[in-house]
Structure 1
Amino acid sequence: MELTVGPNQFFWSADRWSTSYAELVQSPVDRVVLGEVVCSKRLPFYQDRIPEAVSILAEAGKQVALSSLALVTLKRERKQTADLAEMGVEVEINDLTALSYLPENTPFFVGPLVNVYNEGTLGWLAARGATRVCLPPELPLDSVTTLARRGNELGVVIEVWGHGRLPLAISGRCYHARMHGRTKDNCQFACEDDVDGLDVRTMEDQPFLAMNGVQTLSDSYACAAYQVEDLRNAGVKALRLSPQSQGFSQLCAMYRQLLDGQIKPADIATFSKQGDAPVRLSDGFLTGARGVDWSGEDAGQ
Structure 2
Amino acid sequence: MKIALGPLQYYWPRVTTLEFYAAVCDWPVDIVYLGETVCSRRHELRLPDWIEVADMLAQAGKTPVLSTQVLLETGNDLKTLRKIIENERYGVEANDMGAVHLMQKRLLEADAAQKPAFIAGPFLNVYSKPTLDVMAAQGATRWVMPLEMSRAGLTQLQHDRSAGLQTEVFAYGRMPLAFSARCFTARNRNFPKDNCQYVCMDHPDGLLLETKESQAFLTINGIQTQSALVYTLIHALGELRGLGVDVIRLSPQSQHMDQVVAAFRAVLDGCETADEAHQRLVPLMPAGPCNGYWHGRAGLDMVSSEGVVVSQAPDARTPGVKARSIA
**TM-score under structure 2 length normalisation:** 0.87
Q: Tell me if the contact between 1:68 and 1:92 (Cα under 8 Å) persists in the aligned partners.
A: yes
State the match for 1:61 in structure 2: 61
8 A contact 2:67–2:92 mirrored in 1? yes
Counterpart of 2:129, as a letter, is E
Partner-residue secondary structure (3-state), 2:258: helix
Pair 1:80 & 2:80 matched: yes
Q: Is 1:39 aligned to 2:39, yes or no?
A: yes
* Partner residue in 1 for 2:136: 126
**1:91 alignment partner AA:** V
SS of equivalent residue, structure 1 residue 104: helix
The equivalent residue for 2:93 is: 92
Contact (CA 8 Å) 1:131, 1:155: kept in 2 or not? Answer: yes
Deviates more, 1:99-108 or 1:141-150: 99-108
Question: Which residue of 1 is the match for residue 30 of structure 2?
Answer: 30
The 2-side partners of 1:256 and 1:145 are apart by 23
Which is worse superposed, 191-200 or 286-295? 286-295
Tell me the distance in 1 between the aligned counterparts of 2:139 and 2:254. Answer: 34
Residues 145 and 235 in structure 1, CA contact (< 8 A), matched pair in contact too: no
CA distance in 1, matches of 2:289, 2:143: 24
- Quick check: 1:104 aligned with 2:116? no
Q: Which residue of 1 aligns with 2:6?
A: 6
Q: Counterpart in 2 of 1:138?
A: 148
| Worse-matched range after superposition: 283-292 or 128-137 | 283-292
| Corresponding residue of 2:250 | 241
Any unmatched runs of 5+ in structure 1?
none
For residue 266 of structure 1, report the CA deviation from its aligned partner.
2.4
Alignment partners' CA distance in 1, 2:277 and 2:173: 12
Tell me how far apart the structure 2 counterparts of residues 270 and 85 of structure 1 sit (CA, whole Å): 41
- The 1-side partners of 2:98 and 2:14 are apart by 28
Encode CA deviations 1:53-103: one digit per residue, 9 max, x unaligned. 111211121111100001012100000100102322111011111123321
Q: What CA distance in whole angstroms lies between the structure 2 residues aligned with 1:40 and 1:292?
A: 30
C-alpha distance in 1, partners of 2:152/2:188? 39
Identity %: 36
Q: Secondary structure at the match of 1:222?
A: strand
Alpha-carbon distance in 2 for matches of 1:188, 1:100: 34
Larger Rg: 2
1:85-234 aligned within 5 A? 85-88=85-88, 89-102=90-103, 103-105=106-108, 106-151=116-161, 153-234=162-243
Q: CA deviation at 1:250?
A: 1.8
Structure 1: how far apart are the matches of 2:45 and 2:280?
A: 30
**Greater mean alpha carbon deviation, residues 52-61 or residues 114-123:** 52-61
Contact conserved, 2:301 with 2:309, CA < 8 A, in 1? no
Give the Cα–Cα distance (whole angstroms) in 2 for the partners of residues 243 and 278 of structure 1: 11
TM-score when normalising by structure 1: 0.94
Q: In the alignment, what sits opposite 2:267?
A: 258
CA–CA separation in structure 1 for the residues paired with 2:302 and 2:18: 33
Alpha carbons 1:173, 1:184 under 8 Å: kept = yes
CA distance in 1, matches of 2:286, 2:70: 29
Q: Whole-Å Cα distance in 1 between the matches of residues 168 and 51 of structure 2? A: 26
CA contact (8 A) 1:39 1:69 kept: yes
For the aligned residues, what is the CA RMSD?
1.7
Kept in 1, the 8 Å contact 2:85–2:99? The answer is no
The CA deviation at 1:222 is: 0.3
Q: CA deviation at 1:189?
A: 0.7
1:283 equivalenced with 2:286 (yes/no): no
Deviations 1:177-209 (A, max 9, x none): 111111111111111100000001111111111
**Corresponding residue number in structure 2 for 1:294:** 302
